[in-house]
């Protein structure tokens, strides 16, 4: 059984704590490794390595940084199948889904390859007589990234390509549930020529997180996870004078209007509700059927979902297991509660027949109808393959339902009415909107982030929001042509 260690100065670091946590293969239930859990001293050692590497990396030319980014991109593209296999072995998602995750993360690497253009400042000649004014964007220093289990490659890649490209050094704290992808990425950076100490991996639990949030050498923290932890990360990090972008939980709705193509909508509900076993912050978990279409929509979703093959992600399966036994049981308990509260269980994943080991963490696609807003299956973020159907009579009722929800990560509308779609995108209080698109994850050159309880802080991930988050602007006023100051004048400077 392998030990999954920290990464410092382009090499593994065992740490001194001696504490570990088991890492399992969700498709078999087998313990496949032990991940190191950092002590405070271990965390400080990783952070200190990043801090020591920062001055030299900050002063490395944009041309050299870009060359390393391109090398990393090429290596990642050539070997992404390796990374996808690692993700499947620890997370459980099917290989095609894992490969898609890597590809979406790679888009941010490609965006960061254009950093020389993105970092250009402004220049004003002769703003005042013989005085020039200009601005530059400079890096922060050591930046921390705390990533979730559901996307062990893509979510870190939302942040670290831009952080590194802009001249920062990185400490990545991955999830303890699937930590091996982080070390694979670290080795790839070293192979691409990234100097020692620029990209570091800190394995661990709350001890590691708290050190990142409180250590004065860490200048910013980027987090993705549940809303309660996002609140904690934001409050603690900002209290210790750090920039924080904390992306929280979600309860994503899809509104299906009566004029929608129901076959398209049903396909989308199945894909977005059960892909990656529902363990996506952009999964659709609430389908809002408007008007008389509900019965037909539910029937079409059920027919499609019943054909999903649940099993080992390395084999011919459509959907894999949940990440741990505890999480599987928690998701199943929500189905129990929904049924007890009066929801109709149209498709029951609790008794799924799988193609895989009996000890895997299995829960099949589950469809609940006649769900109401008071049920826990609706109010809570379940993070599993459970799709709830809510019925309303009008567009206005659907909009009110979506906007009343405390989360505001992603949403979608299915309609052939351009006017209704345009009205929805304007009126809905959600950060990312799809129109006949069920998982509206933006491209890397736009920003990713929700509203309300789905985001704490004012900066979204990647895009120009990412460039601005990982840099500080400096305004410079210079006079060279006429060094004389013209005598003493205590008045406030005026442009002339």
Residue 198: give its domain's CATH number: 3.40.605.10
Residues 173 and 145 in one domain: yes
Residues 67 and 101 in one domain: yes
pLDDT in tens, 438-490: 999 999 999 999 999 999 999 999 999 999 999 999 999 999 865 555 677 78
pLDDT in tens, 384-425: 999 999 999 999 999 999 999 999 999 999 999 999 999 999
Residues 208 and 276 in one domain: no
Is 113 one of the annotated active-site residues of the chain?
no
| From 115, 185, 265, 281, active-site residue | 281
Q: Is residue 445 part of a domain?
A: no
Residues 205 and 61 in one domain: yes
Tally of domains within the chain: 2
- What pLDDT is stored for residue 486 in this prediction? 62
Residues 237 and 258 in one domain: no
Q: Is residue 261 part of a domain?
A: yes
Residues 210 and 293 in one domain: no
Residue numbers of the chain with a pLDDT score lower than 70: 481-486, 495-496
- What pLDDT is stored for residue 355 in this prediction? 84
Tell me which residue range forms the domain holding 309: 252-435
Q: Is residue 45 part of a domain?
A: yes
HEC letters along the chain: CEEECEEECCEEECCCCCCEEEEEECCCCEEEEEEECCCHHHHHHHHHHHHHHHHHHHCCCHHHHHHHHHHHHHHHHHHHHHHHHHHHHHHCCCHHHHHHHHHHHHHHHHHHCCHHHHCCCCEEEEEECCEEEEEEEEECCEEEEECCCCCCCHHHHHHHHHHHHCCCEEEEECCCCCCHHHHHHHHHHHHHCCCCCCEEECCCCHHHHHHHHHCCCEEEEEEECCHHHHHHHHHHHHHCCCEEEEECCCCEEEEECCCCCHHHHHHHHHHHHHHHHHCCCCCEEEEEEEHHHHHHHHHHHHHHHCCCCEECCCCCCCECCCCCHHHHHHHHHHHHHHHHCCCEEEECHHHCCCECCCCCCCCCCEEEECCCCCCHHHHCCCCCCEEEEEEECCHHHHHHHHHHCCEECEEEEECCCHHHHHHHHHHCCCCEEEECCCCCCCCCCCCECCEECCEECCCCECHHHHHHHCEEEEEEEEECCCCCCCCCCCCCCCCC
Residues 114 and 228 in one domain: yes
Q: pTM to 2 decimals?
A: 0.96
pLDDT in tens, 230-244: 999 999 999 999 999
Residues 282 and 188 in one domain: no
Residues 296 and 413 in one domain: yes
Q: Is residue 492 part of a domain?
A: no
Q: Is residue 156 part of a domain?
A: yes
Residues 90 and 161 in one domain: yes
Residues 280 and 232 in one domain: no
Residues 216 and 328 in one domain: no
């Amino acid at each position: 059984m392998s030990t999954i260690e920290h990464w410092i100065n382009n090499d593994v670091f065992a740490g001194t704590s001696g504490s570990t946590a088991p890492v399992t293969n969700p498709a078999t239930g087998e313990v496949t490794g032990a991940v190191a859990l950092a002590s405070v001293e271990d965390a400080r050692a990783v952070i200190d390595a990043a801090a020591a590497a920062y001055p030299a990396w900050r002063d490395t030319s944009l041309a050299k940084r870009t060359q390393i980014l391109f090398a990393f991109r090429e290596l990642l593209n050539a070997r992404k199948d390796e990374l996808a296999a690692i993700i499947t072995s620890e997370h459980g998602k099917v290989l095609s889904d894992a490969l898609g995750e890597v590809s979406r993360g790679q888009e941010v690497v490609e965006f960061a390859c254009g950093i020389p253009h993105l970092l250009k400042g402004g220049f004003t000649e002769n703003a005042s007589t013989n005085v020039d004014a200009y601005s530059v964007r400079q890096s922060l220093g050591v930046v921390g990234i705390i990533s979730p289990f559901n996307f062990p490659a893509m979510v870190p890649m939302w942040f670290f390509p831009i952080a590194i490209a802009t001249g920062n050094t990185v400490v990545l704290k991955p999830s303890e549930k699937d930590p091996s992808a982080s070390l694979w990425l670290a080795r790839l950076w070293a192979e691409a020529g990234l100097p020692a100490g620029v990209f570091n991996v800190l394995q661990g639990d709350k001890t590691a997180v708290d050190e990142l949030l409180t250590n004065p050498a860490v200048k910013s923290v980027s987090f993705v996870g549940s809303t309660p932890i996002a609140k904690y990360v934001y409050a603690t990090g900002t209290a210790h004078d750090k920039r924080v972008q904390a992306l929280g939980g979600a309860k994503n709705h899809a509104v299906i209007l009566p004029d929608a193509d129901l076959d398209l909508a049903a396909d989308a509900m199945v894909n977005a509700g059960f892909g990656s076993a529902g363990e996506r912050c952009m999964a659709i978990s609430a389908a809002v059927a408007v008007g008389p279409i509900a019965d037909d929509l539910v029937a079409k979703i059920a027919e499609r979902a019943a054909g999903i093959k649940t099993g080992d992600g390395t084999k011919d399966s459509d959907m894999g297991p949940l990440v741990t036994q505890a999480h599987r049981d928690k998701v199943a308990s929500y189905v129990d509660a929904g049924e007890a509260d009066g929801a109709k269980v149209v498709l029951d994943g609790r008794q799924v027949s799988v193609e895989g080991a009996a000890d895997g963490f299995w829960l099949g696609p589950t469809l609940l109808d006649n769900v109401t807003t008071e049920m826990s299956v609706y109010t809570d973020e379940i993070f599993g393959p459970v799709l709830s159907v809510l019925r309303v009579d009008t567009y206005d009722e659907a909009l009110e339902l979506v906007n009343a929800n405390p989360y505001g990560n992603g949403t979608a509308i299915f309609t052939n009415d351009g006017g209704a779609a345009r009205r929805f995108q304007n009126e809905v209080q959600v950060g990312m909107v799809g129109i006949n698109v069920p998982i509206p994850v933006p491209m890397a050159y736009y920003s990713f982030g929700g509203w309300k309880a789905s985001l704490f802080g004012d900066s979204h991930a990647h895009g120009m929001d990412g460039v601005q988050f990982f840099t500080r602007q400096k305004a410079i006023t210079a006079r060279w042509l006429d060094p004389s100051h013209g005598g003493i004048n205590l008045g406030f400077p005026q442009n002339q």
